[in-house]
Amino acid sequence: MHKDDIADLIDAKYSDLIIWLQNQTDESWTLGPEGKWTTGQQALHLLQSTIPLNNALSMPKFLLRFKYGKVNRPIRSYEAIAKRYNKRLKDAKGTTFKGSRNMKIPKLSDKQYILNRLQTEAKKLQYKTRRISDANLDTVVLPHPLMGKMPVREIIMWTAYHVEQHLETLKNYYSELAINENNLTLKQ
């Protein structure tokens, strides 16, 4: 996937997410389906996963090569990354990784700040994706807590998929919640 296409994908996925989040009730920010993250927690998680990537992409690439090594295999496609991620998630059996364990529920007063930051970090990621050389996209690797070391091109594609996946999860949770609330209303 060409870096401009990846940057456009990042733009589309984050834009869809932010629009969806802005259109949700304030209650869904702090209250969610039983045992599931609220919309606020989902947004915070995505922000917490985007910031370190942007920070890493701001570092000199020779430092990243020194710390993590370099690519030793061909670059995977977006579809292959998504498939591999879903398999790894299934194999992890619901394990929550370090940064997202015991996720606090963001206050409603923090909603606009988190959404603004998410939008800003998405724009930074698009910019950095367009500016990084193809050589660095394909040879520099970064660590991922579930996927292991990944070439930068792949980890940016994964980030787009990660946002897509969380948005689909949110849509499913809240459509089910609405259906259950409607069923409760009909039964009364």
Show me where the domains of the chain are located.
3-178
Domain spanning 3-178, CATH architecture: Up-down Bundle (1.20)
Q: Which residues, at least 6 apart from 75, have a Cβ–Cβ distance to it below 8 Å?
A: 138, 151, 153, 154
Q: Which residue has the tokens 């998630």?
A: 89
State residue 185's pLDDT score. Answer: 37
What is the model's pTM?
A: 0.89
For 138, list phi and psi in degrees, rounded to 5. Answer: -100, -10
> Tell me, what's the pLDDT at 102?
77
Burial (CB < 10 A; 0-12, 13-18, 19+), residue 151, is: buried
Place of tokens 């690797």: 141
The pLDDT of residue 103 is 84
**Binned average pLDDT, 10 residues per bin, the chain of 188 residues:** 96 97 93 88 95 96 94 95 93 68 89 97 98 95 93 97 96 71 38
DSSP-H helix ranges across the chain:
3-22, 26-30, 39-58, 61-68, 78-92, 111-131, 134-139, 152-187
Amino acid at 152: V
User: 60: buried, middle or exposed (CB in 10 Å: 19+, 13-18, 0-12)?
Assistant: exposed
Look at residue 98 in the predicted model and tell me its pLDDT: 65
pLDDT of residue 178: 57
User: Residue 182: its pLDDT value, please?
Assistant: 47
